[in-house]
């Protein structure tokens, strides 16, 4: 179970990094055209 917990912690860190990068990119674009980029 502890191994699974460690893996979850790693995934959580990666997710946070991705979210932070995604948020930065989104705020940089900041244009209405970014809506169609989904």
The vertex-8 CA angle with 24 and 17, nearest 5°, equals 10
Position 38 scores a pLDDT of: 55
Q: What are 15's two structure tokens?
A: 């997710």
- Residue 12 domain boundaries: 1-25
Buried b (16+ CB within 10 A) or exposed e, 3-36: eeeeeeeeeeeeeeeeeeeeeeeeeeeeeeeeee
Domain assignment present for residue 13? The answer is yes
pLDDT digits 0-9 by tens, 9-32:
999 999 999 999 999 988 888 765
Q: Is residue 30 part of a domain?
A: no
2 within domain boundaries? yes
How many independent structural domains does the chain possess?
A: 1
Cut 0.95: pTM above it: no
Per-residue pLDDT, 17: 97
32 part of a folded domain: no
CA 36 to chain CA mean position, Å: 19
Q: Is residue 20 part of a domain?
A: yes
CB 26 within 8 A of CB 34: yes
């Amino acid at each position: 179970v502890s191994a699974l917990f460690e893996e979850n912690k790693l995934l959580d860190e990666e997710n946070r990094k991705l979210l932070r990068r995604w948020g930065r990119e989104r705020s940089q674009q900041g244009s209405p055209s970014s809506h169609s980029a989904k």
